Amino acid sequence: MNNRRGELFVVTGPSGVGKATVLGRLMKIISNVYISISATTRKPREGEIHGKHYFFMDRNEFEKLIENDRFLEYAEYVGNYYGTPADSVEQMLANGKDVILEIEPQGALKIKEKCPDCTMLFIIPPCFSDLEFRLRSRGTESDEVIAKRLEKAKKEYEYVDKYDYIVVNDDIDKAADEIRCIMLASRYRTEKRKYLMR
């Protein structure tokens, strides 16, 4: 019998690199993977579904979870909390599912401290100047915001040695395949597959 426990993968990268798009593609070509859903105290936007896009909760509820150490990481942005609930992640891992946390780089480094066994993936664009192009083509952010994001990305690049793998997103299918390979290869490790030797 395979009583394998799932493995935790943290997928991050600079703002604008296309994390969510790549992971969406990945889910079509891999099985037995759960993408963790964040909790937040901000109000749902139109079309956002509780338990799909976020776990929506009020500040009291969120702060109680903080007190009880029920977040792998959390942060406050513009007056709202965002966090990764430990319980749902733990439950999926116990069920043998690999879990992906899609998270910004600062949160990713916090996760690594709390869960040193996790596998860390950093998605980059084919070249740094491509990042600016992507941010601009969204058309939703001012020059100032874009400049700030690029500045931030530069700093995030400095922590590259904290990551196990670098995934290049020059093509969504290729980037999704890269993540698939990384996750599957891990499942084929001897210590995880010895139970098959019968």
Where along the sequence are the contacts to its own copies (CB under 8 A)? 122, 124, 126-128, 157, 160-161, 163-168, 178, 180-182, 184-186, 188-190, 193-194, 196-198
Q: Quote the CA–CA distance of 192 and 198 in Å, as a whole number.
A: 14
Distance in angstroms (rounded) separating the CA atoms of residues 78 and 144: 18
The SS3 of residue 116 is: coil
Return the number of the residue (28 or 43) whose C-beta is nearest its own copies. 28
Q: How far is the CB of 29 from its own copies (least distance, A)?
A: 11
CB of 84 to its own copies, least distance (A): 23
Strand partners, 73: 84
Task: Indicate the residue among 39 and 131 with the shorter CB distance to its own copies.
Answer: 131
Return all residues near 115 (Cβ < 8 A) that are at least 6 apart: 8, 72
Cβ proximity to its own copies: between 143 and 191 the closer is: 191
Q: Beta strand pairing status for 39-40 and 80-85?
A: antiparallel
Question: Least distance in Å: CB of 137 to its own copies?
Answer: 21
* CB nearer its own copies, residue 24 or residue 126: 126
